[in-house]
Structure 1
């Protein structure tokens, strides 16, 4: 089995490094995602191939298993953490390879909302899919979100909310994008437990994403349709 296939397997096992057990027995002590990424780089495999063919393909299979109820939230978290470890190793190599990725993605949990687990999973997976992620964290006012979108010239924005009472700040952010005359330059994705497709349509978002897998799939659809940097 080559290193890319081993990467995919270890993403499926949720193994960050050799000290993780994995979802099945018999993996402890074997190279995990961190060690395998270093091996791939030493073998001259490009960052893009590691991200797309290794980590991305692995997470796609995690998504299919999750949809089939073969994996559950703890399994998905373990896989996402393994991908996050890999992205940390790869980030210094992005500029060296002039790896621009698929585009910039600004991500935030909206104002007065302190929840970040779902947002963090989305950020990790989108990085693993080849996007440049600027995560603003939790409880972020609309003004800061829009300011960052403008400064970064980001073609994608993700907004998360886990409370009914904070969903209104998603609408406020979309409205502010309009007021700043940049709404036409950015695709807005919204998600979180109380968020629905109907709500997304009501506030003028471009997509509702039920989970991190849906977010990655939707972003790739935008890319395939030729959307990047507001064009």
Structure 2
């Protein structure tokens, strides 16, 4: 694990920002920096799952990462494609108001050339189905940070099924409580363990 990943894992905000600024000055690409930050976030997630970190640490790590993303945004815009690679809907499910992870995914998707429709937080189930119909997006990202909200992901997918558009869109889930078991339970197509994985899945969907 690199120095930046370790600093993020240990929630050392000042060190993280210093290392990111040094990386940018030295010509390190935004995606390289994000990749190392992802390793740090994975380590934070592991500490959370082992009950060594709690929700406050998880949220704080996300805030540090949001600060990193703000510094990288101009670099991501420079590398973004001029022609859209496809439409992606992203939203945090009903009952959950966390948006840090969602916003990081959106920044990366836009930097990778996707047209992203940000649906916000605490999104009513029917809104997802309505927006899929309206936009014709082939990819839908559902986010949750609180473990009691992930069953809402299943409700969204059942609503897509009931409205006859389930086969028109591929659903990616992500967030702290999510894993392959949750994906299977919800009936989603993919689980993204981090933001870069979400981008790669959208690329796969639009191949």
TM-score by length of 2: 0.66
Q: Report which of the two structures shows the higher radius of gyration computed on alpha carbons.
A: 1
Kept after mapping to 2: 8 A contact 1:156/1:187:
yes
| Residue-pair matches, total | 194
Post-superposition Cα deviations, 1:126-164, rounded to whole Å, max 9, x if no partner, equal 468x44575422342445424544638352421548469
**In the alignment, what sits opposite 2:113?**
none
Pairing partner for 1:42 from 19, 22, 25: 25
Q: Tell me the CA shift for residue 97 of structure 1.
A: 2.0
Instruction: Note if contact 2:92-2:143 (Cα within 8 Å) is conserved in structure 1.
Output: yes
Per the normalisation by structure 1, the TM-score is 0.61
Deviation at 1:165, TM superposition (A): 9.9
Is 1:51–2:59 an aligned residue pair?
Answer: no
What does residue 73 of structure 2 align with? Answer: 91
Q: CA RMSD in A?
A: 4.3
Matches within 5 A, 1:164-183: 169-171=155-157, 173-175=159-161, 179-180=164-165, 183=167
Unaligned runs of 5+ in 1: 19-31, 210-214
Q: 1:63 aligns with which of 45, 49, 65?
A: 45
Residue in 1 that maps onto 2:139: 155
- Tell me the CA shift for residue 55 of structure 1: 0.8
Give, in whole Å, the separation in 2 of the partners of 1:171 and 1:144: 12
Please state which structure has a larger fraction of its residues in helix.
2
Shift of 1:123: 1.9
CA distance 1:59–1:144, shift in 2 (3 Å) = same
Deviation, structure 1 residue 221: 8.8
Q: Is the 8 A contact 2:91 2:121 kept in 1?
A: no
Q: Distance in 2 between matches of 1:38 and 1:191?
A: 27
Verify: 1:8 aligned to 2:1, yes or no. no
Aligned to 2:204: 227
